[in-house]
């Protein structure tokens, strides 16, 4: 093989040009920025799911306490984690509706009406409220939940219990659209 043929063969496609490198870099940067955007959305959704899960577990805990109290047992209180060390405020759970047909927060449809002021909800016959501001602490970040409940006496020792909880306003923007969690159950009966 002659030298000129060898030179032509080597220089025809001997490497990438600067323009090709620039285009490849731009495509890589756009792809990485897109992936970062998706990761940011995923982190926000994860935080919102944590808030919703905590509200669901809190509603379930209040519902279980009410079920126990209406059946004649149970402590009837929940202690929050306001101090981020496992201690906080012990919230008494109102459950005795006395001679009234119902007691507690107003109901709208099949859920708790959160537009009602907490001051107008009132207390049971023993002075225990039908609402609480429960503080949860996770990784030294506190979140306050507005928890309310309603107990309707259906007769024959049967009650319809509705519990609702939602995060209190002042949430970061990515968590601001957390829907209230509402749970209903029948307790007692013959």
- Span 98-122, average pLDDT: 87
Per-range mean pLDDT, top range of 34-38, 72-76, 141-145: 34-38
Contacts 24+ apart (CB under 8 A), 109-113: 110/162, 110/182, 110/184, 111/162, 111/164, 111/180, 111/182, 112/148, 112/149, 112/150, 112/162, 112/163, 112/164, 112/180, 112/182
d(CA 55, CA 164): 8
pLDDT of residue 25: 94
Identify any residues that bridge with 91 across adjacent strands, giving them in sequence order: 78
Q: What domain range includes position 21?
A: 10-188
Asked whether residue 33 carries a pLDDT value surpassing 80, the answer given is: yes
Query: Does residue 5 sit within a domain?
Result: no
Query: Does residue 155 sit within a domain?
Result: yes
Lowest mean pLDDT among 11-20, 66-75, 85-94: 11-20
Among residues 114, 130, 89, 109, the alpha carbon closest in space to that of 167 is found at 114
pLDDT of residue 175: 55
pLDDT of residue 169: 65
Q: How many domains does the chain have?
A: 1
Query: Does residue 3 sit within a domain?
Result: no
Radius of gyration of the chain (CA): 30
pLDDT digits (tens, 9 = 90+) for 52-76: 888 899 999 999 999 888 888 877 8
pLDDT of residue 57: 92
- Decide: pTM greater than 0.85: no
- Span 156-164, average pLDDT: 91
User: Phi-psi category of 158—alpha, beta or left, where left has phi over 0 and alpha has psi -120 to 50?
Assistant: beta
- Span 79-97, average pLDDT: 87
d(CA 169, CA 49): 16
pLDDT of residue 170: 59
Q: What's the 3-state SS for 45-112?
A: HHHHHHHHHHHHHHHHHHHHHHHHHHCCCCCCEEECCCCCCCCCCEEECCCCCCCCCEEECCEECCEE
pLDDT of residue 9: 57
Query: For residue 72, what are the CA distances in angstroms to 89, 98, 161, 184?
Result: 24, 14, 15, 19
d(CA 130, CA 66): 11
DSSP strand pairing (131-138 vs 141-155) = antiparallel
Higher local confidence (pLDDT), 10 or 157:
157
pLDDT of residue 32: 96
Mean pLDDT of the chain: 84
């Amino acid at each position: 093989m002659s030298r000129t043929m060898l030179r032509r063969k080597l220089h025809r496609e001997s490497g990438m040009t600067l323009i090709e490198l620039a285009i490849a870099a731009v495509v890589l940067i756009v792809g990485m920025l897109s992936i970062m955007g998706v990761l940011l959305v995923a982190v926000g959704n994860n935080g919102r799911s944590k808030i919703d899960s905590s509200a669901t577990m809190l509603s379930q805990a209040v519902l279980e306490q009410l079920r126990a109290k209406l059946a004649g047992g149970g402590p009837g209180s929940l202690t929050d984690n306001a101090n981020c060390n496992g201690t906080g405020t012990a919230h008494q759970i109102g459950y005795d509706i006395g001679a009234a047909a119902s007691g507690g927060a107003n109901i709208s449809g099949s859920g708790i009406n959160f537009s009602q002021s907490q001051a107008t909800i009132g207390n049971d016959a023993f002075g225990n409220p039908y609402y609480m501001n429960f503080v949860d602490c996770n990784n030294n970040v506190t979140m306050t939940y507005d928890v309310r409940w309603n107990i309707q006496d259906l007769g024959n020792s049967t009650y319809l219990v509705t519990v609702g909880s939602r995060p209190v306003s002042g949430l970061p923007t990515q968590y601001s659209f957390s829907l209230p969690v509402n749970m209903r159950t029948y307790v007692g009966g013959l």
